[in-house]
Amino acid sequence: MLEPFEFGFMQRAMIAATLVGGVTAAVGVFVILRRLAYIGHGLAHSIFGGAVVSFTIGFNFFLGASLWGAFSVFLINQAARRRQIGGDAAIGIITTAAFAIGIAVISRARSFTRDFEAALFGEILGITNQDLYVTAGMVLLIAIVMFLLWKPLVFITFDQDVATSYGISVRWVEAIFSLALAATVVAALQVLGVTLIAAALVIPPVVARLLTDSFPRLFVIAVVIGALTGFLGVYVSWFVDVSSGATVVLVQSAVFALTLGWGVLESRRGFSAARRAERLAGLERSLND
């Protein structure tokens, strides 16, 4: 059972997956409540383009992908302000165009295919100490941003129309949050890969939403589920010999299915209990009559 802990690459992978699982869940809470799941999915594909270009020109991966992500967010925000386009269409156009640039670069430089597969599907077992430090640094930065933006973010997520009246610069808060989301996607790229990031952003917060009606509790539960499933996914992948990113998402999906199933059973049980109570009350009434 402790075999995975004996290897340095597994230790690094489990630490990275725990950090990334926690931070994607934290950002994901606001993603699902603001109904931005599509932008998370789109940004992952967009940043893939940045990662490819960075590899190709020999630029720092994290910096290149982050700048690409930030530029995509800027373009999406600019395009979405035009009434004729709308947010979802702007995301669709810009992120797929950025993704297509990555594909185009790959087709011209086939010698990099393996690196691109890593970006697409994640390669957490190849994480170096340096990668781990950078990932931890990004996670810390995102956590600080979330900490400082907490109150205005909660306000605009709940009641955006009124937030401005209470002195909140909605445009600035949205822009900073979008950058934090882009940074989260970059941090998660090596762990999960482009194709699985959206799931990690959405599943833990949705599971937490099924469990509580209190926002602070929802946030804590989501982060704990994200971190635990990240760790567990990499740990289990050692034994089942399946891609670590996919295992993380499969573990999260299993937790979601169990929570949903438990919720359905609970509501049926509650319904049955209510019917039993109703029958007993009816019986009691008829006896009294």
Partner 1 sequence: MATVGVDALVELQGVALGYEGVVALRDVDVSIAPGELIGIVGPSGCGKTTLLRSLLGEPELYAGTAQVADNTRVGYVPQVETVDWNFPITVEQVAMLGSWRTRRWLPWTSRAERSRARVVLSQLGIADLADRPIRALSGGQQQRTFLARALIRSPDLLLLDEPTSGVDIKTRHEILHQLAGLNTAGVTVVLTTHDLNGVASHLPRLIALGEQTVLADGPPSEVLQPDILERAYGQPMLVVQSGHETYVLPIPEEAPGAHGDVLPPPEVVNVIGRPDSDSDSDSTSDHA
Where do contacts with partner 1 occur on this chain (CB under 8 A)?
33, 83, 147-148, 150-152, 154-155, 157-159, 161-162, 164-168, 209, 212-215, 218
83 or 114: CB nearest partner 1: 83
Other CB atoms within 10 A of residue 175 CB = 15
| Dist CA 158 CA 166 (whole Å) | 13
CB of 266 to partner 1, least distance (A): 18
151 or 275: CB nearest partner 1: 151
CB of 144 to partner 1, least distance (A): 10
213 or 289: CB nearest partner 1: 213
DSSP category for residue 125:
G
| Dist CA 155 CA 161 (whole Å) | 10
| Dist CA 200 CA 207 (whole Å) | 11
CB of 164 to partner 1, least distance (A): 6
11 or 160: CB nearest partner 1: 160
10 or 207: CB nearest partner 1: 207
150 or 271: CB nearest partner 1: 150
The residue type at 271: F
The end-to-end CA distance of the chain, in Å, is: 66
| Dist CA 211 CA 254 (whole Å) | 15
CB of 142 to partner 1, least distance (A): 14
Q: How many residues belong to the chain?
A: 289
**What are the residues whose beta carbons fall under 8 Å from the beta carbon of 62, sequence distance 6 or more?**
134, 138, 186
CB 26 within 8 Å of CB 143: yes
Q: Which two tokens stand for residue 231?
A: 């760790």
| Dist CA 274 CA 43 (whole Å) | 46
CB of 263 to partner 1, least distance (A): 15
CB of 110 to partner 1, least distance (A): 47
